[in-house]
A = this chain, B = another copy of it.
Amino acid sequence: MHCSVARTLDVVGERWSLLILRDAFNGIHRFDAFQASLGIARNILADRLAKLVEHGVLERRRYAEHPPRDEYRLTAKGRALFDVLMAMVHWGDTWESEGAEPPVTITHEGCGAVMHAVPACSNCGQILTPWNVRTHPARTEADAGVSA
């Protein structure tokens, strides 16, 4: 499906995959540490890690030779999911917390505040809302066919 949201979901739309990435942002890199953090079955963890490596958002790096041991590190493509994670965390905290305190608070080291992420315009920095953006579908081959 020719849609960026669909392609993103192919990579991060599965619960364990995104939770693994969340842990990776929090400094977890090794199989046993992921397993302890997530309480996930080892075969499922191995499968999800392999898929994330296949999608290029994690990469395996050998950290010991005897016995051979690999760890999993975010690639540039994986680090770019920071924006998606920050948005998901804030939405979950706001709308799905059932009145509980957020399980994690996040501070911005620049200003020191406990804060959340808001979407800003990459050009001018103003805050974006559903009312101040406009989407323009690109002309696709299908469109060209219809208009021909």
Contact = CB atoms under 8 A, between A and B. Distances in A.
B2 A79 contact: no
B4 A18 contact: no
A104 interface: yes
Given A5-B19, A22-B5, A132 B119 contact: no
The interface residues of chain A, by DSSP majority, are classed as: mixed
Of the four ranges (under 10, 10 to 19, 20 to 34, 35 or more), the interface on chain A belongs to: 35 or more
A117 B128 contact: yes
B19 A15 contact: no
Given A4-B93, A5-B85, A115 B105 contact: no
A138 B9 CA distance: 29
Tell me how many chains of this kind the complex includes.
2
A121 B115 CA distance: 6
Contact of A120 (B12, B119, B130): B119
A12 B77 CA distance: 21
Interface stretch (A41-49, A58-66, A106-114): A106-114
B3 A103 contact: yes
Nearest to A39: B1
Interface string A86-113: 1111111111110011111111111101
A135 B94 CA distance: 17
Contacts of A88: 4-5, 8-9, 12, 84
Q: Which 6 A-B pairs have CB atoms at the shortest separation, nearest pair first?
A: A4-B92, A113-B123, A117-B119, A120-B120, A7-B96, A111-B124
